[in-house]
Chain A
């Protein structure tokens, strides 16, 4: 294998394991431990994509999370993922990736013609260009933006990978395993604290992997390896790599995304691809380090221009040279460390230092090594289109405003260092008001808001000795508070080279007559000139400048660009940076996949599925199920090729003619006990409850305090102080909370207990003229005659050895009974009823027939009791007691509620007795009236009346009381239907209610 840019003996990669991969269709090789970026660079590939707006060639700028533009479309195991950073994606066998933002190819990009023609899209481009004409947006602008600017393509396939959520509690969460993370984790763990240490990279150690330091008698890297090894063995420590703590939420809740399988060709069976951790930590130590700042000069986005820290990481971790003729452009000592690494590996770097005569140990070492250094020098512009070929450089005056003669210097990469920006995102997310530190020209955390402490470089501490000392102390101090153990680990001796003051200069002026683009934000193509335009156009707030220019937006959220943008705004505005302030940091710190956020809650797991104990019987008997809240209920039992319409009609007819059985297990059931139970019912229901005899049921309506109907149902008095309440399926949970609210907070003096028994009882409704005959056979020892068990009566019985409750209540309007047995016996009960009912032509019926039966009876249900109607609207005003107070009563005398022409439920029949009226249709007087046609009411529920064999609907109609007999139109623009209708009574079947009492 010929890898021109790979060093022989340097790096942490596994050279025994070769890995093949494809980039833009071409095959390459790398090693285990490479990232896609390091492997491509080892192969000399620098051109990886095109920029967002101008489609300028893009290479690698960073080596990890800081990367603004090396974003690829990844293909793995027949799936594809957009927005993958090549600098973070670990190499695996068979990896395929393609460039984004370029069409037709990365080498020849049509969008770049914009660039050639100098049709540069200025700041506010989106606002100025794509706003009008309005009609252009959907047809022209949006498709154009989508095609030209997309950062990749999301897969439209179902994601078969598994994602997990995990909840964890710990004493101390430590974000970042660099020197401060390791030291504080070690100190805290040794002191007995439960510690979670999270590292976003595959390797632990942070900067210790690349810096030339000694801790005790070990190198930094050895020390890190030993600490990690020891931490992993400790039972009170959880250590995770490939895990990014991306969000700091309320009450010290942090969320971490762990990537378990993204680095593998394929996720192992039964393993998750990613895991989202919700971590509640007593204390949080933020050791997230810092990110190097770019220096800004002409064409600083050319492939081959990159952060000097990234060049050092490629060299020391991956054994990769990012160039063989490197130019190091720096305003501080960090650039020297990179230069020294090049030099040690036989490469001759040239350093351009913006400073005049800096003195430090590192600079001395570079000079001693014979590295060529030009002080007071700057890069004016990078030369080369798809790759740096040379640089235009110049001497700069002491006041940094005048450039000397332009010189050309050959180079194949430019490594820039503009000093360091602490990564304060997590601290800021926690609510920490950050402060500007003039010594480092960057923001650092201020006073802690939650229990968070920032350590090391993230706190602006750039020397290892101080970092370790502080971190050992903090780990010990915080853990001592929690564990009360005082087991102190001593901070080891540190050997590191001292550096000197950085230069505040970072933006190279344009030479006269040159119009080089100097980029601030590489991901969004925001240049110095864009910020200048935005400010000229009157934008002042940094939040507005950000949105107008798109500075610091998109997936990298300005990790490298924010501070330079702020510096520029403050320079132009003659303010200091702290006055300008930084934009708000919001989670997530790095992009998180939708899969990880959703976790296991996809498809049928997106909500619980509740099944009645008779579910398997229904399934065996061809039930077609329907979602009823979280329940699955039979909609109808399909016979042969029956449609829903045919099947439900058959079932409903059989109830009216013979007898039907319906699973009503889903009804909410609440057990109410206590000496004041009747008093509670009397207050929450609108009708009178104090005199209900034992063994009797009563229908009741509950209101909200604002007078709106909340629910209805029957409640039965089982014994002296014991009641059984039923609620509608939908309101079951709310009604229990409602009762608890009044019992615990409003009327705590009432001695009552309430508990949900919905799941404890299986329920079957037996309805139809022959239901009594079935019941008699089921309970031969009970007198089920009309006198023995009258309407609204209740008995306890023995159903073939099983204890049962029998309620004579009806939802269908027919003679009907509801039988409850313990859930375990639900199926037994059902089968017995079917067996006994056979001779009476019993048939099961589903929710569709159930609806039909109640609609033609004019029995209001969920579609009328929809949270907008009052008792009068539902013709329930007869149930409003005049002799007592109850919840919501005081609201019923509101003006609108007692208006003469108040809406009321009515029946609606199409004049042709044929056309079914779509639910939701509006009732209007004149079908041809000009729009908006005044709406008189709406169709709340529709069915095919089996009693009359024609369509029938319920409607809530204005002045419904006086509208019976009127002819109106039901209009459904959605279904494109206008149906002439007649308004009739809502009680379409058995208006006197004789059948239920028969």
Chain B
């Protein structure tokens, strides 16, 4: 079980969090033209990285804040965690 440092609550066990996928995906802006390709990339296409991955976690049984985590997908090493409004 991972030990994740919530930027709001401190070190908490993984079972308080829900995984939220790739943190680098940006939703296209509302009311803007989006090409099929760009929309597909936003909805479906994800890299399955081995190594450093920037991802979202939701502190669902804690402060209920979405946070950004940089984690190695092979070793589970966590390098950094930041708040939702911060860049990772």
Could you list which residues of chain A lie within 8 angstroms of chain B, going by C-beta atoms? 167, 249-253, 278, 280, 431, 449, 683, 705-706, 737, 740-741, 744-746, 748, 884-885, 890-891
Asked if B49 lies at the interface with its beta carbon under 8 angstroms from chain A, I say no
A891/B30 in contact, CB under 8 A: no
Q: Which listed residue, B3, B28, B31, touches A280 by the CB 8 Å rule?
A: B3
Q: Are B66 and A744 in contact (CB under 8 A)?
A: yes
Judged by a CB distance under 8 angstroms, whether B9 is at the interface is no
* B65, A744: Cβ atoms closer than 8 Å: yes
Q: Which one of B1, B2, B18, B76 lies within 8 Å of A737 (CB-CB)?
A: B18
Residues of A within 8 A of B75 (CB): 431, 449
B20 at the interface (CB under 8 A from A): yes
Give Cα A955 to B19, complex, Å: 34
Q: Which residues of B contact A884 (CB under 8 A)?
A: 31
| A890:B56 contact, CB within 8 angstroms | no
Docked CA distance A167–B12 (Å) = 12
CB pair B66–A683 under 8 Å, yes or no, is no
Cross-chain contact A250 with B1 (CB below 8 angstroms)? yes
A885 to B58 alpha-carbon distance, docked (Å): 26
Question: Is the beta-carbon distance between B66 and A741 smaller than 8 angstroms?
Answer: yes
Contacting residue for B1 out of A278, A683, A748, A891, CB 8 A: A278
- Contact check, B66 vs A250: say whether CB atoms are below 8 A apart: no
Q: List 11 A-B contacts (CB under 8 A).
A: A251-B76, A253-B13, A737-B60, A740-B58, A740-B64, A741-B20, A741-B66, A744-B66, A744-B84, A744-B85, A890-B34
On whether the beta carbons of A748 and B3 are closer than 8 Å, the reply is: no
Across the interface, do B65 and A891 meet the contact criterion of CB distance under 8 Å?
A: no
Q: Is the CB of B84 within 8 A of A748?
A: yes
Q: Are A745 and B56 in contact (CB under 8 A)?
A: yes
Q: Given contact pairs A251-B78, A705-B27, enumerate 18 new A-B contacts (beta carbons under 8 Å).
A: A250-B1, A250-B3, A250-B76, A251-B2, A251-B3, A252-B3, A253-B1, A280-B3, A705-B43, A706-B43, A737-B18, A740-B64, A744-B66, A744-B84, A748-B84, A885-B30, A890-B28, A890-B39
CB neighbours (8 Å) of B27 from chain A are 705, 746
Q: Nearest 5 pairs between A and B by C-beta?
A: A251-B3, A885-B30, A744-B84, A250-B76, A885-B31
Within 8 A of A (CB), among B47-63: 56, 58, 60
| A280 surroundings in chain B (CB, below 8 A) | 3, 13
Is there a chain A Cβ closer than 8 Å to B79's Cβ?
Answer: no
Chain B residue contacts of A167, Cβ below 8 A: 13
**Residue of chain B at shortest CB distance from A278:** B1
In the complex, chain B residues whose CB is within 8 Å of the CB of A741: 20, 58, 66
Per-residue interface assignment for chain B, residues 17 to 50, with 1 indicating a CB less than 8 Å from any chain A CB and 0 otherwise: 0101000000110110010000100111000000
CB-based nearest A residue for B26: A746
A253 to B13: give the CA distance in the assembly, Å.
10
* B interface, CB within 8 angstroms of A: 1-3, 13, 18, 20, 27-28, 30-31, 34, 39, 42-44, 56, 58, 60, 64-66, 75-76, 78, 84-85
In the assembled complex, the CB of B88 is this many whole angstroms from the nearest CB of chain A, namely: 12
Cα A278 to Cα B85 in complex, Å, equals 33
Residues of B within 8 A of A253 (CB): 1, 3, 13
The smallest beta-carbon distance between B37 and chain A, in angstroms, is 12
Q: How far is the CA of A98 from the CA of B75 in the complex (A)?
A: 45
Main secondary structure of the interface of B (DSSP, over half): loop
Query: Which residues from B are CB-within-8-Å of A891?
Result: 39, 43
Q: What is the distance, in angstroms, from A633's C-beta to the closest C-beta of chain B?
A: 24
Smallest Cβ-Cβ distance to A741: which chain B residue: B66
Closest partner residue, chain A, to B68 (CB atom): A745
Residue on B nearest A705 in the bound complex, by CB? B43
Which residues of chain B come closer than 8 Å to A249, judged between CB atoms? 1
A249 to B75, CA, bound (A): 11
Closest CB-CB distance, A868 to chain B, in whole Å?
Answer: 16
Residue in chain B with minimal CB distance to A683: B30
B1: nearest residue on chain A (CB-CB)? A253
Q: Give the distance in Å from the alpha carbon of A660 to the alpha carbon of B70 in the complex.
A: 54
CB distance from A751 to the nearest CB of B (A): 14
Chain B hits for A740, CB < 8 A: 58, 64-66
A706 contact set on B, CB distance < 8 A:
43-44
Q: In the bound complex, how far is the Cα of B59 from the Cα of A744, in angstroms?
A: 12
**B13 CB, min distance to chain A CBs, angstroms:** 7
Contacts of A737 in B (CB 8 A): 18, 58, 60
The minimal Cβ–Cβ distance linking B45 to chain A, given in whole angstroms, is: 12
**Nearest-neighbor residue (CB-CB) of B67 within chain A:** A744
For the complex, give the distance between the alpha carbons of A449 and B75 in Å. 9
Closest residue of A by beta carbon distance from B83: A744
Please name the residue on chain B nearest to A249 by beta carbon. B1
B1: min CB distance to chain A, Å = 5
With A249-B1, A280-B3, A740-B66 as contacts: A745 and B60 at CB distance below 8 Å? no
A745 and B66: CB pair below 8 A?
yes
Tell me how far the C-beta of A735 lies from the nearest C-beta in chain B, rounded to whole angstroms.
13
Which residues does chain A contribute within 8 Å of B58, judged by CB atoms?
A: 737, 740-741
Question: Complex Cα distance A890/B39, Å?
Answer: 8
Q: What is the bound-complex CA distance between A705 and B27, given in angstroms?
A: 10
Q: Which of A252, A741, A744, A748 has the most CB of B within 10 A?
A: A744
Which A residues are CB-close (under 8 A) to B43?
705-706, 891
**A890: chain B residues within 8 A (beta carbon):** 28, 34, 39
Contacts of B42 in A (CB 8 A): 705
Chain A residues near B28 (CB-CB < 8 A):
890
B63: shortest Cβ distance to chain A, in Å?
Answer: 11
Kindly state the separation between the CA atoms of A683 and B78 in the bound complex, as whole angstroms.
34
Please report the C-alpha to C-alpha distance between residue A705 and residue B28 in the assembled complex, in whole angstroms: 11
Closest Cβ neighbor of A884 among chain B residues? B31
Cα-based distance from A251 to B69 in the complex (angstroms):
15
- Residues from chain B with a CB closer than 8 A to the CB of A250 are 1-3, 76
Closest to B36 in A: A894
Task: Tell me the nearest residue of chain A to B58, going by C-beta.
Answer: A737
Q: Given the complex, which residues of B lie within 8 Å of A744, measured CB to CB?
A: 65-66, 84-85
Chain A residue with Cβ nearest B4: A251
Nearest residue in B to A250 (C-beta to C-beta)?
Answer: B76
- Give Cα distance in the complex from A8 to B18, angstroms: 62
Which residue on chain B has the smallest CB distance to residue A756?
A: B64
A282 CB to closest chain B CB (Å) equals 11
Q: How far is the CA of A706 from the CA of B39 in the complex (A)?
A: 9
Query: Which residues of B are found within 8 Å of A431, using beta-carbon distances?
Result: 75
Residues of chain A within 8 A of B44, CB atoms compared: 706
Q: How far is the CB of B52 from chain A (nearest CB, A)?
A: 16
Determine the distance from Cα of A705 to Cα of B39 in the docked complex, in whole angstroms: 10
Bound Cα distance from A885 to B34, whole angstroms: 12
CB distance from B36 to the nearest CB of A (A): 9
Nearest B residue to A704 via CB reads B43
Let me know if B2 and A745 touch, CB within 8 A.
Answer: no
Which residue from chain A places its CB closest to the CB of B65 in the assembled complex?
A: A744
**Shortest CB distance B70–A (Å):** 15
Q: CB-CB < 8 A to B60: which residues of A?
A: 737
| Closest chain A CB from B17 CB (angstroms) | 12
Chain B: minimal CB distance from A739 (Å): 11
User: From residue A359, how far is it (CB to closest CB) to chain B in Å?
Assistant: 48
Report the separation of the CA atoms of residues A278 and B2 in the bound assembly, to the nearest whole angstrom: 12
Please measure, in the bound complex, the distance between the C-alpha atom of A167 and the C-alpha atom of B11, giving whole angstroms.
14
Measured CB to CB, the nearest residue on chain A to B34 is A890
> Given the complex, which residues of A lie within 8 Å of B76, measured CB to CB?
250-251
Q: In the assembled complex, which residues on chain B have CB atoms less than 8 Å from the CB atom of A252? A: 3
Nearest to A888 among chain B residues (CB) is: B43
Q: How far is the CB of B65 from chain A (nearest CB, A)?
A: 6
A592 to B56, CA, bound (A): 34
| Contact indicator A748/B2 (Cβ below 8 Å) | no
Whole-angstrom distance from the CB of A16 to the nearest CB of chain B? 46
Q: For A251, A737, A885, which residue has the most chain B Cβ atoms within 10 angstroms?
A: A251
A748 near B85 with CB under 8 A, answer yes
Q: Please, how many angstroms separate the alpha-carbon atoms of A740 and B44 in the complex?
A: 21
Q: Write the chain A residue with the least CB distance to B56.
A: A745
Q: How far is the CA of A450 from the CA of B25 in the complex (A)?
A: 31
Min CB gap A289→B, angstroms: 27
A890 vs B33: C-alpha distance in the bound complex, in angstroms? 9
Nearest chain A residue, comparing its CB with the CB of B85: A748
A884–B66 Cα distance when bound, in Å, is 27
Q: B19 to nearest A CB, angstroms?
A: 11
A431–B28 CA distance with the chains assembled, in angstroms: 40
